[in-house]
Amino acid sequence: MATVIQAYRFALDPTPAQRRTLASHCGAARVAHNWGLHLVQARLEQRRAGEDVDVPWTLPALRQEWNRVKDQVAPWWAENSKEAYSSGLDGLARALKNWTDSCNGRRKGRPVGFPRPKRKSRARDACRFTTGQIKVLNDRKHVQLPRIGVVKTHESTRRLARRLEQGTARILAATISRTADRWFVSFTVEVQRHLPVGKGKTTVVGVDVGVRHLAVLSTGTTVTNPRALERSQRKLRRLNRQLARRNTGSQRRRKTRRRLARVHARTTNLRRDTLHKLTSFLATQHGTVVVEHLNVAGMVRNRRIARAVADAGLAELRRQLGYKTIWYGSRLVVADRFYPSSKTCSACGWVKAKLALAERTFTCETCGLRLDRDLNAARNLAKIAQHVAQSGWETANARGADQKTQLAGQVAMKREPSSPVPHRTWDWDRRVRKHPAT
């Protein structure tokens, strides 16, 4: 048994009064964040002027300053839980730390700017509770939150309730949030999970992800890209034009904004659903999963493919594989970013010098293999797992770890050309279409 931190998210079905209370808590968190940011900026200006003042940079310091002046700043503070104001100050403290670490080179990724004020119409409505009455009721249809009370859920909470009844889970915090005028609660839970050392399956699958197809597996299966954002573009354009014609502050503008938010939420749900189904299938049905280490951040800088790459969610696919392979006892191997999986022949190991993106079929000049380029890349990725095991690159317990390979094109397998695997197109609505590989 191992202890992991896991989130359980449920949709809420609050009453109109509870909706106002939920919105009030999120607004309180936003007010505390903006007040703390204004205080930090004022103290920094005083320091630049030569005054010796303390700048509250951490959550305890910000909370102490807030408790000293909250009666003057927000006389209505008692209407909401104290956790609402602590949530806003905690977000500010994290933002200040991220900015400091980014300036000092201690944070990876793009540079992080100085925190900005949160606007009611722009910021995400969210509030986090860490203390108080945070419960999942036994009827599995209601949850209890501090100061908000018992709220009905739109779906059953049995997934979390079973673990709480068995004593294998402990709730650490609860976060309420609003997406497209629908409220959600997310429980941060400390779960005791049985992490199997292995599932007894020795199958290896190479996964070549992309835009034309979401994933092409070395077994010959092609997973269709849902293209959720692309299919929603017509509705999004129409609603955005309609929103631009509405008067600011009018009821019709608010109604159009809600309709636009629902389209965006549905797009996100369609993409998330496909990624979860694919990653769960790979982690449960195969012993080893091999993926590429793609430079997604660099790919989205290209204006021609940025929207399509972002719509596919390639980075999210690898993130989900990272923890699901640990949960289900499989292994994740990540190929090097510069490994030429598409340019290498999967039969004889010959490496092609150049392969244009428009060339969808790989043709080997040595053995004469002619194969779909994505399927050829997936087969090459599957072979990497064999070299990882033979050369001793993996650690004693490599379940789910990102085992980066160092094969910069030097692997050349001398084999006889094999017959192509029948190519299947797999759509998650259970429609399977078979056709011969090219």
Average pLDDT over residues 333-353: 86
Mean pLDDT of 158-163: 94
Q: Does residue 231 belong to any structural domain of this protein?
A: no
Bridge partners for 207 per DSSP: 217
Query: Is residue 252 in a domain?
Result: no
| Residues 146 and 209 grouped into a single domain | no
| 290/416 same-domain check | yes
Question: Residue 274 domain-assigned?
Answer: yes
**pLDDT the model gives residue 390:** 52
C-alpha 184/C-alpha 176 separation (Å) is 6
Element holding 142 (H helix, E strand) = strand 142-145
3-state helix, strand, coil in the chain (%, to 5): 40, 20, 40
pLDDT of residue 436 exceeding 90, the answer is: no
CA-to-CA dists, residue 127 to 98, 144, 184, angstroms: 20, 15, 11
Tell me what percent of the residues of the chain surpass a pLDDT of 70.
88
Residue 122: its pLDDT value, please?
85
Q: Do 306 and 184 have their domain in common? A: no
Question: What was the pLDDT predicted at 389?
Answer: 56
Three-class secondary structure assignment of 338-367: CCCCCCECCCCCCECCCCCCCCCEEECCCC
- Check if the beta carbon of residue 303 is closer than 8 Å to that of residue 311: no
Can you read off the two tokens belonging to residue 398?
A: 């490599």
Q: How far apart are CA 283 and CA 79, in angstroms?
A: 47
- Asked if 158 and 277 sit in the same domain, the reply is no
CA 323 to chain centre: 12
Domain check: are 168 and 188 in the same one?
Answer: yes
Residue 217 and residue 116 share a domain: no
In this predicted structure, the answer to whether residue 394 has a pLDDT above a threshold of 50 is no
437 pLDDT higher than 70: no
H helix or E strand, kind and range, residue 172: strand 169-179
3-state DSSP assignment of residue 219: coil
Q: How many angstroms separate the CA atoms of 217 and 378, rounded?
A: 6
Let me know if residue 188 belongs to a domain.
yes
Closest CA to 86 of 98, 94, 96, 75: 94
- What local confidence, expressed as pLDDT, does residue 395 receive? 36
Q: Which pLDDT tens digit goes with each residue over 170-221?
A: 999 999 999 998 999 999 999 998 888 777 788 899 999 989 899 999 888 8
> Are residues 150 and 9 part of one domain?
yes
CA-to-CA distance for 420 and 218, rounded, in angstroms?
11
Annotation says 316 is catalytic: no
Q: Is the pLDDT of residue 298 over 90?
A: no
Structure tokens belonging to residue 243: 């929103």
How many angstroms separate the CA atoms of 403 and 145, rounded? 41
pLDDT of residue 388: 67
Grade residue 434 by pLDDT with cuts at 50, 70 and 90: very low
**DSSP-based three-state secondary structure for 38:** helix
The range of the structural domain enclosing residue 103 comes to 1-194
Active site residue: 292, 316, 359, 416, which one? 292
Does 214 share its domain with 171? no
Are 183 and 277 contained in the same domain? no
> Interior CA angle at 332 toward 290 and 426, to 5°?
50
Cα separation, 142 vs 25, in Å, equals: 19
Tell me if 294 is assigned to some domain. Answer: yes
Q: What is the pLDDT of residue 100?
A: 94
Classify residue 259: in a domain, yes or no: no
Largest CA distance in the chain: 81
Contact between 341 and 407 (Cβ < 8 Å) = no
Q: Compute the mean pLDDT over every residue in the chain, rounded to the nearest whole number.
A: 86
Laid out side by side, the sheet with 149-152 consists of 135-136, 142-145, 149-152
Note whether 24 and 115 are same-domain residues.
Answer: yes
Taking residues 13-40, what's their average pLDDT? 96
Residue range 347-372, pLDDT digits in tens: 888 888 888 887 888 888 888 888 88
Residue 401 pLDDT exceeds 50 = no
Q: Is the pLDDT of residue 406 over 60?
A: no
Residue with the bigger pLDDT between 387 and 132: it is: 132
**How far is residue 406's CA from residue 342's CA, in Å, rounded to a whole number?**
16
Pairwise CA distance, residues 197 & 328, whole Å = 9
Q: Does residue 237 belong to any structural domain of this protein?
A: no
Catalytic residue among 65, 83, 90, 208: 208
Residue 264 pLDDT: 95
Q: Given the residues 374, 394, 402, 429, select the one marked as catalytic.
A: 374
Q: Tell me: do 287 and 321 sit in the same domain.
A: yes
101 is catalytic: no
Q: For residue 245, tell me if it sits in a domain.
A: no
The mean pLDDT value for 79-108 works out to: 94
What's the pLDDT score for residue 354? 84
Mean pLDDT of 416-431: 42
Domain count, the chain: 2
Q: Which of 387, 372, 404, 400 is nearest to 294 (CA)?
A: 404
Active site residue 45: no
Q: Are residues 218 and 187 in the same domain?
A: no
Residues 9 and 177: their CA atoms lie apart, in Å, by 10
Do 284 and 328 contact (CB within 8 A), yes or no? yes
